[in-house]
Structure 1
Amino acid sequence: MEWNKLLCGDRIRPIQKREGSQDLRSEFEKDYHRIIGSASFRRLQDKTQVFPLDQSDFVRTRLTHSLEVSSFCKSLGQNIARKILTQIKDESFDPSYQQDICDILQCAGLLHDIGNPPFGHFGETVIREWFKENLPKLRFSKDIDGSGAGSAEGRPLTEILNPQMQNDFYNFEGNTQALRVVSKLHYLVDEHGMNLTKALLATIIKYPVSSLDVDKKNPDICCHKMGYYYADRELFKDIEDSCGLGGRRHPLTYILEAADDIAYRTADIEDSYKKGRISFDMLVRELEKRCYEDQSDHVYRDLIGTLKYRYGKGIEHGVSDPGGYAVQNWIIAVQGRLIYLATDSFAEHYNEIMDGSFGSELLEGTEGKHIVDALGEIAVKYAFNSEPILKIEVSADQILTYLLDRLVPAAIGYDTGNKLRPIDSRMMSFISDNYKKIYHIYSEGKTEDEKLYLRLLLVTDYVCGMTDSYAKRLYQELNGLI
């Protein structure tokens, strides 16, 4: 792979530069302003990160998490670009690329969760499980009165949809949805969504494989999830060819993934402390336990030593909560350490990353792997298994299952010439006119099979665009609860 192609500033719809324009921004800087001014990005403020949304102004949402990831992305980009120039000395890497890399990564951090459905990663699980259970039961027939749509009559959908179409729903991912949001669903000027640069689009595609090629047992992490829908296959090919990827992951994607890991692993601990799920003493005990269980005990000794040192500083400064002071300052120190380790790993594996043979996370095989794994295990024990989280997951299952139960059968018969049942017409009326417009643009000239597939995607597009509050409110209104 070559940097001059990897940093492709082209857009799906070319923009004609106005003569005499005084706009001095690079194409990647323009991407940044398109993102932060979008409603799709603003909706992240009302989507769960870990803890259910409440009145606290401290606990993170998807929006604040994305801002943190964006910040770490930029820091990593600066460090790594500097190493390429001064240590690796890749002659093909022009000094001007340093700023481009930072701008692309900063934007990628903002976008990495923009396709997530309401209620966090559990929302993704509910959608996947719903389709695994229900898609084989659904049928479609083109009747005069529409009575066969979604009913016991007609052909099973699993006989109509090709294997990739079906697997798209069985392997549903917020990462995959992000590409649809920014390239199609965010209807700004036309059907090309935000019309972002191809280098940025390539960076947010974490897994460059279709749903047919997902293999969670493959040692190459690039195959563990799908990266694009059947509906977006031509877009993916365009991005891949323009950036010279050849079926491989964009090098900046490794940096984005590392920034995300650093942000959420450390934030989960800090939020857990603020929510009273874990105390300073409990955190120390958890780390001490790993000293005896893990061969990398020196890593945990360093972590414990730094944590206790920060606690002592809190007492020395006379703060009211030395434990909180220690945890927050310790988190910052851990983040700095992880950024350093990820930077060194990128430099160490530079040739493998550039030839597409590197199939691990940047922190894999480093001390950072022990750190993020420990933080993740502690978060699962004290945060993810806490009562508030379990309650929101039960509620999420109820809400999303209810909506899919009613929206999918309605969408099956939509735009087919069939007469929809009154309840189905009403359910379809809730879907945004912009989403419907995108469906009609991209379904024009397609086969009936692909149109059916696109109607199912219309439902997941609508559901993923919901905030937590909107999904909850719609469920309550449809059930006469408010």
Structure 2
Amino acid sequence: MIDYSKKLTTAREVNPIDNLDYSIESDRGRILSAPAFRRLQKRTQVFALELNASIRTRLTHSLEVSQTARFIAKSILSKLQKEGLKTYGLEGLENAFVSTVEMTSLLHDIGNPPFGHFAEQTINKWIAENALPLFETFPATSEETKALKIMLAKDLCNYDGNAQAIRVITKLQRLNLSYTQIASVVKYTRGAYEDKPKKGEPFDYLMKKPGFYFSEKSAVEKIQSALHVKHGHRFPLTYIMEAADDISYLTADLEDSVEKGILSLDKVYELIKAECEKEGETYLLEVIQDRYDQAKKNEEPYQFNLFFTLVRAKLVTSLVFHVVDIYTQNHEAIYEGSFNSALLEYDTKSKYYKAIKILQTISTKHIYQNKDVQTLELQGYAIINGLLSVFKPLMNLTCKEFEALLSDEKIECFIAMRLIKRISSKQIVAYQNDVKALEGKDEESAMLLEFYYRTRLIIDYISGMTDDFALHEYRTLMAL
């Protein structure tokens, strides 16, 4: 039975607020004033270290996603209103429904590292080649510690912005958001320590990427239990955020590529037209043809903006109503969290799905594979790789040496004594709290977990940087 009153609650870790609307507004305030949210303004969307302020960053992208998500949420409520919101336990919860979706969209990229998704691969490659060999030297004699060692090694090599977002919210920023708000950010339902399901297995889509780390496992399980979300299942409002994110990507990167001079308006039109004709797709072709003709009637400086404004308005509106239909037609599975697909990818025969695939193909071929864009990615790789290597001496220390280091005691590794001063005190406190919880553990497990949390600490520091700060830190430490 669908009853959103069990999902939209006031429960939170500490100091719960009895009034739901006040609780929702409290979440909104905490998110908008969070330093991690502000840092999104200087993180890559597609074009790294961009000086042109009109090019999208993670922050401006997140703002666009939040608006689209709000539109979807309000449209869903409007459609459900015909049967009566009371039927779904939504009466009086309209504000909570819309605001949670909107704020989730602002949070969805908060764990992304500098230099975009390429940095995720860089971090994982570096950890596999540098941290795991150190980790392998730790003893594990019992079956229990052997299993723990395998699980933690897998977790460390699965850095993902989605999983890091949960860590930022719960451990590094300690936003103390409501369980409802946190649960809605868990886009993928697999722990980074779990195996990825094979295609065709249950929840193969929902678990295709890591959604949280071992370090946040107990927190996520506690939230899921409180909100009646089963293992492997997703919180229902997360589907809306995901759809809004997918919709916002469609023309944004093409628009920015024209602003950057990679493509021109005429070239974008020609590419879309050619791809539509090749695929026999008429819906998108009609949309762009009408808007292109309309835009070309205007003066030259305004043609580009008018074309994308008109195309975006048409596509967003059409796709929002399409998403609303999918959501309401599959309401029970979505509410339960077992709906194993993105809303926009569910109906593969629809004209909207075909239009999306065409736009994605063009962006991949002509933007993401552009030489200048890939040059920026290679620079990001060098910076992230270089920073991790600089901080490796902290991983080479024994547990006792690192403990002494945090107590401001002198140790033999003079490099480590200077490196530790660069790491944020909030991140160090998160490490110390995790290690403090190891009291009573057997020695082998404690050693494994201490190294795991220490590695997380270094990843937290570097992945939490903005693009320009990472570049500055790299130049400083490399004496460039």
Q: Same fold (TM over 0.5)?
A: yes
Amino acid paired to 1:80: I
Alignment of 1:106-185 (within 5 A): 106-138=102-134, 162-185=149-172
Whole-angstrom distance in 1 between the partners of 2:245 and 2:318: 15
Partner of 2:234: 249
Structure 1 equivalent of residue 443 of structure 2: none
Map 1:304-323 to 2 at 5 A: 304-318=285-299, 320-323=301-304
Aligned 1:410-429 pairs, distance under 5 A: 410-413=394-397, 416-417=400-401, 419-429=411-421
Asked if structure 2 preserves the Cα contact closer than 8 Å seen for 1:73 and 1:256, the reply is yes
Cα distance change of structure 1 residues 436 and 414 upon mapping to structure 2, 3 Å threshold: farther
1:455: Cα distance to partner? 0.6
Deviation per residue, 1:70-126 (Å, 9 max, x gap): 111111111112222325867132322221111101110110000111101111110
1:405 aligns with 2:389: yes
Percent of aligned pairs with the same amino acid: 30
Give 5+ residue unaligned stretches, structure 1: 18-22, 141-152, 187-192
Shift of 1:160: 9.5
Q: Aligned match of 1:236 in 220, 230, 234?
A: 220
After superposition, the Cα gap between the structure-2 partners of 1:436 and 1:376, relative to the gap in structure 1 and judged at 3 Å, is same
> 1:332 Cα shift?
2.2
1:213 maps to which residue? Answer: 195
CA distance in 2, matches of 1:394, 1:90: 54
Does residue 283 of structure 2 align to residue 302 of structure 1? yes
TM-score (norm 2): 0.88
Relative to structure 1, is the Cα distance of residues 215 and 341 closer, same or farther in structure 2, using a 3 angstrom cutoff? same
Structure 2 counterpart of 1:11 = 12
> In the alignment, is the contact (CA less than 8 A) between 1:412 and 1:456 conserved in 2?
no
Secondary structure in 2 aligned to 1:227?
strand
| Corresponding residue SS for 2:170 | helix
Residue 8 of structure 2 aligns with an amino acid whose one-letter code is: L
Query: Which string of whole-angstrom CA distances, capped at 9 and with x for unpartnered residues, describes residues 7-65 of structure 1?
Result: 12211113467xxxxx9952112111111111111111110100123221210001101
Contact kept in structure 2, 1:439 and 1:458, CA below 8 Å: yes
Report the secondary structure of 1:416's partner residue.
helix
1:16-415 counterparts in 2 under 5 A? 25-87=21-83, 91-138=87-134, 162-186=149-173, 193-211=174-192, 212-215=194-197, 217-218=199-200, 220-247=204-231, 248-294=233-279, 297=280, 300-318=281-299, 320-364=301-345, 365=347, 366-413=350-397
Cα distance in 2 for partners of 1:389, 1:12 equals 42
Q: Which letter maps to 1:272?
A: S
* Contact 2:104 2:185 survives alignment (8 Å): yes
- Residues 105-160 of structure 1 show CA distances to partners (whole Å, capped at 9, x for unaligned) of 111011000011110111111011112222332258xxxxxxxxxxxx7759x979
Classify the secondary structure of the residue corresponding to 2:55. coil
Check the 8 A contact 2:131/2:395 in 1, yes or no. Answer: no
Please report how far the alpha carbon of residue 393 of structure 1 lies from its aligned counterpart in structure 2 after TM superposition.
1.0
Q: Which deviates more from structure 2 when the two are superposed, residues 351-360 or residues 248-257?
A: 351-360
Counterparts of 1:340 and 1:239, CA distance in 2: 31
Q: Which stretch of structure 1 is more off in the superposition, 325-334 or 177-186? A: 325-334
- CA distance in 1 between partners of 2:415 and 2:226 (Å): 45
Kept in 2: contact 1:215–1:225 (CA 8 A):
no
CA distance in 2, matches of 1:332, 1:467: 31
Listed one character per residue, the Cα deviations across residues 239-263 of structure 1 (whole Å, up to 9, x for unaligned) are 1011101121111111111111111
Deviates more, 1:463-472 or 1:308-317: 308-317
Write the distance in 2 (CA, Å) between the matches of 1:320 and 1:442: 56
Q: What corresponds to 2:442 in structure 1? A: none
- Provide the C-alpha distance between the structure 1 equivalents of 2:72 and 2:447, rounded to a whole number of angstroms: 47
Residue aligned with 2:82, SS: helix
Question: Does residue 470 of structure 2 align to residue 471 of structure 1?
Answer: yes
**Alignment partners' CA distance in 2, 1:440 and 1:264:** 39
Aligned counterparts of 1:363 and 1:171: Cα–Cα separation in 2: 26
Structure 1 residues 384 and 291: alpha-carbon distance in aligned structure 2, compared to 1, 3 A threshold: closer
- Whether contact under 8 Å (1:48, 1:118) holds in the other structure is yes
Q: Distance in 2 between matches of 1:378 and 1:24?
A: 44
Other structure's SS at 1:7 match: coil
Unaligned runs of 5+ in 2: 403-410, 439-445
